[in-house]
Structure 1
Amino acid sequence: MTYRPAVASDLEPAAPLTLGVEEEYLLLDARTGESLPVADQVLTALSGAARDQSRQEFRHSMVEMVTPVTVELAELRGHLVALRRSAGDAAEAAGARLVAVGATPVHERHRTVPDEPRYHAMSRRFGPVAHDPAVCGCHVHVGVADRELAVQVCNHLRPWLPVIQAITANSPLHDGRDTGHASWRSMQLERWPSIGPTPHFDSAADYDATVAELIDAGVMLDAAMVYWYARPSAAYPTVEIRVGDVCPGVDDAVLVAGLVRALVATLAEEARAGRPAPRIRDCLVSAAHWRAAHDGLEGDLIDLRAGVARPAWDLVGDLVEEVAPALTRHGDLDYVRDQLARLRRDGNGATRQRRVMARTDNDVRAVLDHLAAETRAG
Structure 2
Amino acid sequence: MTTALTVGVEEEFLLLDPETGVNVPAAAAVLAGLPAHLRGQSRQEFRHSMVEMVTPVCTTLSEVGEHLRRHRRAAAEAASAAGCCLVAVGATPVAEPRLTVTDNPRYQAIAEHYGPIVRDPAVCGCHIHVGVADRELAVRVGNHLRPWLPVVQALSVNSPFHGGVDTGHASWRSMQLDRWPTLGPTPAFASAADFDRTVALLVGSGAMLDERLVLWYARPSSRYPTVEVRVTDVCLTANDTVLLAGLVRALVATATAGIAAGVPAPEVPDGLLRAAHWNAAHQGLDGTLLDLRRLEPRPAWDLVDDLVEAVTPALDRHGDLAVVHAGLARLRAEGTGARRQRQMYARTGSLPAALAEMAAG
TM-score tier (shorter): over 0.9
Aligned-partner Cα distance in 1 for 2:16–2:119: 17
5 Å-filtered alignment, 1:1-378, equals: 13-361=1-349, 363-374=350-361
Aligned-partner Cα distance in 2 for 1:179–1:77: 31
Q: Deviations over 1:241-295 (max 9, x none)?
A: 0000000101000000000000100011111111111111111000000000000
**How many residues are treated as equivalent by the alignment?**
361
8 Å CA contact 2:10–2:55 kept in 1: the answer is yes
Aligned-partner Cα distance in 1 for 2:54–2:43: 8
1:170 to partner: Cα distance: 0.1
Q: Where does structure 2 lack aligned partners over 5 or more consecutive residues? A: none
Return the letter of the residue paired with 2:244.
V
- What is the TM-score with the length of structure 1 in the denominator? 0.94
1:366 to partner: Cα distance: 2.6
Q: Deviations over 1:306-356 (max 9, x none)?
A: 111011100000000000010000001011101100000000100101112
Return the letter of the residue paired with 1:365.
P
Structure 1 runs of 4+ with >4 Å offset:
none
Return the letter of the residue paired with 1:39.
A
1:93 to partner: Cα distance: 1.1
8 Å CA contact 2:85–2:356 kept in 1: the answer is no
- % of aligned pairs identical? 63
Aligned-partner Cα distance in 2 for 1:305–1:367: 39
Q: Where does structure 1 lack aligned partners over 5 or more consecutive residues? A: 1-12
1:14 to partner: Cα distance: 2.6
SS for the counterpart of 1:206 is helix
Return the letter of the residue paired with 1:133.
P
Aligned-partner Cα distance in 2 for 1:167–1:270: 24
Return the letter of the residue paired with 1:223.
E
- What is the TM-score with the length of structure 2 in the denominator? 0.99
Aligned-partner Cα distance in 1 for 2:289–2:78: 39
Q: Determine the structure 2 residue equivalent to 1:7.
A: none
Aligned-partner Cα distance in 2 for 1:155–1:30: 43
Aligned-partner Cα distance in 1 for 2:2–2:323: 20
1:220 to partner: Cα distance: 1.1
1:48 to partner: Cα distance: 2.4
1:146 to partner: Cα distance: 1.6
1:75 to partner: Cα distance: 1.0
Aligned-partner Cα distance in 1 for 2:303–2:353: 32
Aligned-partner Cα distance in 2 for 1:44–1:131: 25
